[in-house]
Amino acid sequence: MKKLILAAILLISIGKLPLYSQTDVHFSQFMFNNVTFNPASIEILNTINTSLVARQQWVGFDKAPSSQALNASTYVQDLYGGVGLNVINDMLGYEHFLTARAFYAFPVQIGVLSNVVFGLGAGVVSRTLDGTDLIYEEPDPNALLGKERWVKPDFNFGVEYVDPNLTVGFAATHLYRSVGNAGIDYAPRHYYLYGKYLFEDVVDRVDIQPYLLFKSSWYITQFDISVIGYYDNMIWGGVSYRLGDAFVGMLGYYITPEIRVGYAYDVAVGPVRGHTGGTHEIMLSVQFEGFNKTRVTPKTPRIFN
């Protein structure tokens, strides 16, 4: 029964899609991992910044969506910019997507404490479709009976404005193909627009940061609004609402100034509501000492990125 419900939900979700096209993976703790989709979202510090995010969606469904992302980036003085790597693994039923991109980001100082950063990423995306477990009610000469794999080039672009309290960014992924030309072998272009503002010392040692994210591939659009509170630069907690999809609760803790962990739990409000045990997501973020010979003085200090 759950398999039938999952299939119905997937059909509802992709009803307006070109055949077999795929949407970008979505993480509830995206505000800590903008670099997953925007190559311009780097730290201008003498640190190597890494993060690992793992998401298990719709607990209780067989072959429910499961996603992981590994990000690493650093600022290199000799290159006058930042370099990094994204690896995203996404499992959805009988489909498997693997994306790997390297990127470069170039900051332009426009004020004493403000920068505009431009980023460009390039890599490959691999899609595997496994038809060995599919069962067809009627014979179909075009039926997929084995495993098929497609590998395509992948590019993304982003720009981000940053000052000590305000961040505004725009990004586009899968520049190689528009939504009208997306198909079985490639995902369509996605657009991201986001912003956040840090209100410091709202009460003693407590900072508040609202965050908005708009994500669209034209045929489907997501809108997230989040509010996170930070206590003493050590603990954070917050809530998020993904329009028409889920309510999210988040908790996080700095184990050391260089290591932090986070957890998010999604409660569905869409078609899957009442049929799953929710969605779990964990995050681990670690900073290491960078390669620069001299100390990098941040022109745009980011307290919570």
**Other residues' Cβ atoms within 10 Å of the Cβ of residue 285:** 21
* Mean per-residue pLDDT, 284-301: 71
Q: Give the pLDDT mean for 60-83.
A: 89
d(CA 73, CA 59): 32
All residues at 6 or more sequence positions from 231 whose CB lies less than 8 Å from its CB, including other chains? 205, 206
Which residues are CB-neighbours of 82 under 8 A, at least 6 positions away? 42, 43, 44, 73, 74, 75, 76, 104, 105, 107, 117, 119
Mean pLDDT of the chain: 84
- H or E stretch including 13? helix 2-13
pLDDT in tens, 233-287: 899 999 999 998 899 999 999 999 999 999 999 998 866 665 666 899 999 999 9
Distance CA 294, CA 65 (A): 44
CATH code reported for the domain at 2-289: 2.40.160.40
Q: What is the pLDDT of residues 189-201, one digit of tens each?
A: 899 999 999 999 9
**Closest by CA position to 287, among listed 253, 251, 257, 262:** 257
Do residues 117 and 110 make contact, with C-beta atoms less than 8 angstroms apart?
no
Of 219, 245, 177, nearest in space to 28 by CA: 245
DSSP conformation class of 111: E
138-150 average pLDDT score: 71
> What is the spatial distance between Cα 198 and Cα 231, in angstroms, rounded to a whole number?
13
Asked whether the predicted pLDDT for residue 187 surpasses 90, the reply is no
Domain boundaries, the chain: 2-289
pLDDT, residue 6, reads 44
Per-residue pLDDT at 141: 63
Quick one: which of 237, 167, 229 has its CA closest to 204? 229
Pair 68, 282: CB distance under 8 Å: no
Q: In this predicted structure, what is the pLDDT of residue 302? A: 47
Q: Which two tokens stand for residue 245?
A: 């999809």
pLDDT at 185: 60
The stretch 82-93 carries a mean pLDDT of 93
Helix, coil or strand: residue 84: strand
Going by pLDDT thresholds of 50, 70 and 90, the confidence category of residue 22 is: low
For the residues 168-174, what does the mean pLDDT come to? Answer: 96
What pLDDT, on a 0 to 100 scale, did the predictor assign at position 303?
41
Query: What average pLDDT does this structure show over 25-44?
Result: 93
